[in-house]
Amino acid sequence: MSQEIQQFRATLPINEFKQEILKQIQENTFIIITGDTGSGKSTQLPQYLLDDEEFRLNICQKRKKFLEERVEEKEQPKVQGFLSKKLKPFVPEDRINSTDLKIVVTQPRRMAAISMAKRVAFERNQNLGIEVGYSIRFDNSTTNTTQLRYVTDGILVRECLQDKDLTGYDVVILDEAHERSLYTDVLFALVKTAAKRRKGSLKVIITSATLNINIFKNYFEGCPYVKVHGKSFPVEVKYAEHNITQQKRNHDAVNAAIRMHLHEGPGDILVFLPGSEDCEVCRKFCYERLAEVLNSGVEVPSVLLYTLYGSQTSEDQSQVFQRADEHTRKIIFCTNIAETSLTIDNIGFVVDTGYVKQKVYNPRTGMDSLIIQPISKTQAIQRTGRAGRTQAGKCYRLFSKQFYESLSEHTTAEIMRVNLASVMLLLKSMGIDDVVRFEFMEQPTQEAILQSLRQLYLIQAIDEDGQITPMGYEMSRYPLEPSYAKALITSKMMECSNEMSAIVAILSTESIWQRITRVDVDGYQKLQEIQSQHADPAGDHLSLLKIFSEWKQATFNEQFAKDTLLNLRSLKQADNIRQQLQQLVEGTSKKKCSQFYDQDYLYKLFRKQKDSKKWNINESIKLALCSGFYFNTARKMHNGEDTYLMVYPEGTVVDTDPQSVYTVIQQYPETVIFTELGGTSQVRGVMKLISEINIEWVKPYFSNMVKVDLFKLARIEFQQRGRDAVQERRQKKIQEQEKQKDLEQK
Ligand code: ADP
């Protein structure tokens, strides 16, 4: 480690708390650490543990004892016969005597996991993957020797499927807990149970920027709590007189940043915007505005413009961290990723639009959509705080004081606002059947749980009693939304899995088209022309497959991608994911599935088509899509060309995405299914990724959609619940009477 890095690490606020933190971790199973963003929680804390010899030896000894007990249990199973094999505890033999410390740090965001791993490897002067690495969906840089893994929270939930007690780790750090992302909330429960079973051989650290500490302390059994104080400087907050409209938001944000650049002293500028598209639009607009200012004869000091958002590549993102020379200012247009996940040094000024793009469950359609919403007060405070880390700063809020006062205190946990189907399926596949009473930190609404179970039932992942089916187990092997997993498994039966793997892979990456915004009028027009040349009236899924196949046929040619305005990086990534999905599909046994598909209407239809020699692969792809998404069937309304009515829930109106091939070719089929829902308002959804289908294919399923017994699915037995409640009330009454008697006697 270079001296410079050593000195830098010593200056971080967390350094002063190192001994106290290490002591608390030695003595406790759970510990909560809070501290300002940038104080060193994500990058330093795991290194303190890695480098503490005493801690390592101690925890390795505890792990050895625990695993040896496990071996005994394994040799004498409590249950005899067939079940004994299934219930045998998992013991990784190589971990019993290993003296390697294994730490996993979870991040809600992919980009943060990569960035942290790279940063820590750099600080330790190591290549990525040797001692430190990251693992995110479809991208893994870790090896057997990796001791410190930065992973997305979803990855650790999936690892719990294989190893419920997380015996592969000695320390779990749940970072960015304040974000309350869906999978971090699930992990709170899974890791808490695992740590209890591990009898002190697994340490759990919860770290966060700002935290509603009481909920966390209660949940983690009153565990100790260390607050890392950092040095911070005052930030002057200014409000706009009026709230800005959505149309003017980007315009005003850019103007505010330019005013600051022209009139303020040193310090970089961070501009918080709702989404990635806004970031790109603003960067371009800012260039143009600065050119205008310059042309009008005003002197413009040297400036560099950047964007920062979740779906960027790590190369693009790493440029933002590089220091500009002292006479150049950086203006960074960012989403809420720069609120707490990533820290950029030297920020002196913040412009806050007060909005964020969030995934929200749309109960009308049963799907999530990304919606632009006001931030919470906590988020506004976090954003302001970015300006005061290294110097006194200024924050300009593009909203009024009254608007600020009307904001909710904290951000609502994701588990309270998104579709829970994939979480429910994962819990079921871990053997957690009673999902309604699963011990979440904050209980999702019963309605949300019921709707997600309904979706799982409709795609045959669970049966009418809420039990996971063999098909459900199969789906849980795939790191995909259950409906996509179903479509992929069906595609294997329908002999089109190569094509479906490619489609799902394309949909798992950033758009394969180049990012050209409407601001670039010529570029946008050219993109639309090319898209319409490649549009396949069969739908968006097959159009994407077509252009992807053309690129592959052009031997992955770079020039072809350039000429057709394709994003080469996304294409390559999609091809890599396609190969990984194909490997997964190969692991799905056709023989095992055939028991299920023998009864399946869509599969019978496929067989019939095939036998009659009218077989056509595009039709099979659509049938496979229907098997995962038939509940998203919509029919054209006759009062508006691109407006559709969903079959269920009845009366739900949805619009066609302007980017869909159907909008491009201006032909709107009678019946379609869609696999994603967009739209920035909660009132009406926008169908994204649409394919034309034949209504007859899905008709037999409609009766299923309407008459699902949700309470049976959720295993809620009214009589039983009623009886329990009466018993509980009686017990309480007796206790109260006894208390009263005691008091009277005294
Ligand atoms: P926290 O988790 O408390 O928000 P971090 O451990 O992420 O803090 O960051 C500590 C410090 O390390 C930051 O203030 C920043 O100076 C530096 N740092 C973190 N990540 C990077 C990176 N990718 N490139 C450069 N510096 C970084």
Q: Are 331 and 264 in contact (CB under 8 A)?
A: no
Pairing of strands 148-152, 132-136: parallel
Q: What is the pTM of this model?
A: 0.86
CA–CA dist 683, 140 (Å, integer): 39
Supply the DSSP string of 688-734, one letter for each residue: EEEEE--HHHHHHHHHHHH---HHHHTT--HHHHHHHHHHHHHHHHH
CA–CA dist 243, 401 (Å, integer): 9
* 101: pLDDT strictly greater than 90: yes
Mean pLDDT of the region 672-680: 85
Residue 321 Cα to ligand 1 midpoint, Å, equals 10
| Residue 140 DSSP SS3 | strand
Tell me the pLDDT tens digit for each residue of 238-268.
Answer: 999 888 777 789 999 999 999 999 999 999 9
Q: What angle do CA 461, 466, 472 make, to 5 degrees?
A: 20
Residues with CB under 6 A from ligand 1: 12, 35, 37-44, 115, 119, 321, 343, 345
Relative orientation angle of helices 695-706 and 446-458, to the nearest 10 degrees: 140
- In ligand 1, the atom with minimum distance to the C-alpha of 115 is 23
- In ligand 1, the atom with minimum distance to the C-alpha of 45 is 6
- In ligand 1, the atom with minimum distance to the C-alpha of 175 is 2
Is 230 or 364 the better-scoring residue by pLDDT? 230
Q: What is the pLDDT of residue 730?
A: 66
Size (the chain), residues: 746
What number is the ipTM of this complex? 0.97
Mean pLDDT of the region 19-43: 94
Mutate to test the pocket of ligand 1, among 343, 345, 346, 386 (most ligand atoms within 8 A of CB): 343
CA–CA dist 136, 150 (Å, integer): 8
Sign (positive or negative) of CA dihedral 427, 428, 429, 432: positive
CA–CA dist 212, 363 (Å, integer): 28
* 93: pLDDT strictly greater than 60: yes
**Closest residue by Cα to residue 268 from 328, 204, 213, 198:** 328
Residue 652 Cα to ligand 1 midpoint, Å, equals 46
Q: What is the pLDDT of residue 728?
A: 63
Q: Which residue has the tokens 């409609």?
A: 702
User: Which residue's CA lies nearest to atom 10 of ligand 1?
Assistant: 40
Given pLDDT bands bounded at 50, 70 and 90, which one contains residue 421? very high
Q: Are 161 and 426 in contact (CB under 8 A)?
A: yes
Q: Are 458 and 421 in contact (CB under 8 A)?
A: no
- In ligand 1, the atom with minimum distance to the C-alpha of 36 is 3
Cβ burial 283-308 (10 Å sphere, 16+ → b, else e): bbbbeebbeeeeeeeeeeeebebbbb
* 745: pLDDT strictly greater than 50: yes
Residue type, 247: Q
Residue 19 Cα to ligand 1 midpoint, Å, equals 20
| Residue 585 DSSP SS3 | helix
Q: Are 37 and 340 in contact (CB under 8 A)?
A: yes
CA–CA dist 144, 345 (Å, integer): 34
- Give strand pairing partners of 148: 103, 132
Between the alpha carbon of residue 126 and those of residues 34, 114, 133, 567, the distances in Å are: 28, 15, 10, 32
Q: How far apart are the first and last CA of the chain?
A: 69
Is 721 or 403 the better-scoring residue by pLDDT? 403
Given pLDDT bands bounded at 50, 70 and 90, which one contains residue 192? very high
Tell me the pLDDT tens digit for each residue of 710-731.
Answer: 778 787 765 455 555 556 666 6
Max mean pLDDT range (43-47, 526-530, 604-608, 708-712)? 43-47
* 67: pLDDT strictly greater than 60: yes
